[in-house]
A and B are shown apart, each in its own frame.
Chain A
Amino acid sequence: MNELKLSNLLTPKNILLDVKEKDKDALLAKIIKTFSEVNNIADPEALAREVTEREALGNTGIGRGIGFPHAKSSQVEEISVLLARPARPIEYGALDGLPVNLVILIIAPDSGDNNQYLHAMARISRLLGKSEVREKLAQVKTPQEAIDTIAAFEN
């Protein structure tokens, strides 16, 4: 199986640092809007609905300050992501009660390889679960620095 690496999915355009939005809904809206612009999504509203409908069936805060909204959608042709770092921790409703410092949106094609999607999410969850990765990402000054940091841990 082709191993998807988060650093290969990221570009400076799909990384938002120090996002000013102050609550979860506003943050997700900002993330989805930017994701839609970067990926030329034909119907951003449909994508927003798909993400929020999934969110409604279970909070995607996976603990340790990470929000991981995800969905399958006909709006993308390949697995695509957006990484956001809020300017301040945002209450996300995660099970461990911690506000989030990092949010990563992952959207996969609804007709794509489900195993690849599951493995990509698993790899990202494991990577961002590491405190040293989160600590480094909290300090980066530019999107490119974020990519380099993630690549260093992935390699």
Chain B
Amino acid sequence: MKPKTILLYVDSSKESEAALKAALDFSGPQVTIIAVNVVNRQTVIQLARGGSKSIAEAEVELEENGWCYLYNTEEIAKSAGAQIVILQESGYPEEVLPRLAQGYGADLIIVGQPAGHGKDVGQSGLAQQLIEHAACAVLVVK
């Protein structure tokens, strides 16, 4: 069955680009892609701890970079004629994505995952957590 509403997780990774390509493979007149970037609270704290940035500066950087990825994704999707809306949320992707998927009635979540990972905690374990907690289908793209 072809999905009608796809929740696409967007971040800076190469696998995120592969996830977009997979989403575009499903696209069509009746299909809407909801591209989501999540400003990860844990990453904000790590950035602030690890460098010279304050929490506020780290947030600004992640938010702005996230919007850039989203608008880039939107450009590519619209050039391909796909229907897409973008949004940015704050929190933890493993919590935000299932909630949004349920709230917007998504029937598929697509997420990229770095090769060679999947059992670790954190970004690489996101796919595993989504598979366990999301109410809809999850497509993991390497």
The number of chain B residues with a CB under 8 A from chain A is: 25
Residue among B68, B82, B104 with most chain A CB within 10 A: B68
Q: Which residues of B contact A58 (CB under 8 A)?
A: 32, 74, 77-78, 83-86
CA distance A122 to B83 in the complex (A): 20
Give the residue name and chain of the B residue nearest to A72 (CB). Answer: B75
Contact flag A57-B83 (CB < 8 Å), given A95-B104, A126-B60: yes
Least Cβ distance of B29 to chain A in Å?
Answer: 11
In this complex, what residue of A is CB-closest to B61?
A126
A59 to B35, CA, bound (A): 12
CA distance A96 to B36 in the complex (A): 13
Q: By the criterion CB–CB under 8 Å, are B67 and A57 in contact?
A: no
Number of A-B contacts (CB under 8 A): 54
What DSSP secondary structure best describes chain B's contact surface?
helix
Distance of B40 from chain A, by nearest CB (Å): 15
29 contacting pairs across A/B (C-beta < 8 A):
A57-B77, A57-B78, A57-B82, A57-B84, A58-B74, A58-B83, A58-B85, A58-B86, A62-B88, A63-B87, A63-B88, A95-B87, A95-B104, A96-B87, A118-B68, A118-B71, A118-B72, A119-B68, A121-B67, A121-B71, A122-B65, A122-B66, A122-B67, A122-B68, A122-B70, A123-B64, A125-B67, A126-B60, A129-B88
Chain A residues near B (Cβ < 8 Å): 54, 57-59, 61-63, 95-96, 114, 118-119, 121-123, 125-126, 129
